[in-house]
Homo-oligomer: A and B are copies of this chain.
Amino acid sequence: MADPRFFSVAGPFSLKGLAAISGSRIGDGGNPEAQFLDVQPLQIAGPEHLSFLDNKLYLNDFSKSRAGACLVHADHAANAPKEMALLISEDPYRAYAKAAAAFYQRKNTEAHIAPSAIIHETAKIGLNCHVSPGAVIDAEAEIGQNCSIGANTVIGKSVILGDDCVIGPNSSLSFCIIGNRVDIHNGARIGQDGYGYAPGKDGHIKIPQLGRVLIEDDVDIGANATIDRGSGPDTVIGAGTKIDNLVHIAHNAQLGKNCLVASQVGISGSTEFGDFVMVGGKAGFAGHLRIGEGARIAAKSGVTKDVHAGATVGGFPARPLKEWLLGVAALRRFAKKKVN
């Protein structure tokens, strides 16, 4: 069970309730009224717990598990212990995510405006918001309903947040317009001016950065990530895109919907991603590139050219993954030749 000092578990939930929440169906013989208290891995779950089987490597654990109920694909139902109730799903991991989110809700803070929060008289705070101690909300900012603003976070002038957003502590939002159900983690920096200079021998002159950051619905931004505002155009993060910690996104970059960007990635100015682009950790992108829909970029790649939709690339300069791996293998052969 999750440490109750940090997590409060909701429930109990009935088997039929969990089926509805997770989009699964009750397997033969399952008692729809049976009650469950928590989620647990197969190995340690007991009769009061819901578990899940997503990976065939754990089939043995599944067939020996004491879990009272389990989310499982129909193909593996026959391996279940007799006493286990089954929730049959096409995608048990996804179904588990939904069930677990019901037990452990994303926002468990009550509506409250801390007296120490400093909220400008012209700012608007929606219903049922939680504003933590020391948070600063500047003039004409607008916060939607059911938002949680972390302690010592700074929401700049005229920033707009939609509903159901969770902003972690110590973060800074400025020059941005943010949709609904957006999570921004601790220390993220959104909307500061980007890195734009007219260079010269007498010193580099700053170009005023006159755009914004637009963050669409259901986006997550990781801890200490930085997203600079546009220089004239806007910087855009498409709906459903999830960005990990310490990622840098430069001015005018535009990410599509449902992209996954792992930690410490850097995306240079004006580069555009289609939807569902996946990027491994520490990859870097030059500026002004087009990365097609569904492209997959291996960790630590250095992308210097456009990438076609659906392509998988790796290495530096990034090339088709197969070619990169052959290059790695060739180099390894030469290295060994020299030794022998």
**Which residues from chain A sit less than 8 Å from chain B, CB to CB?**
2-3, 5-7, 41, 91, 93-94, 96-98, 100-101, 103-104, 106, 114, 116, 118, 132-134, 136, 138, 140, 150-154, 156-158, 168-172, 174-175, 183, 185-187, 189, 192-193, 195, 197-201, 203-208, 210-212, 218, 220, 222-224, 226, 228, 232, 240, 242, 244-246, 248, 250, 258, 260, 262-264, 266, 268, 276, 281-282, 284, 286, 299-300, 302, 316-317, 319, 322-324, 326-332, 334-339
Contacts and interface: CB of A to CB of B under 8 A. Distances in A.
Contacts of A327: 331-332, 334-335
B172 A187 contact: yes
B223 A189 contact: yes
A304 to B, nearest CB: 8
Contacts of A169: 136, 154, 156, 172, 174
- Interface of A, secondary structure class, is loop
Nearest to A336: B323
Contacts of A183: 206
Nearest to A250: B263
A248 B245 contact: yes
Given A116-B118, A172-B168, A172-B187, A205 B94 contact: yes
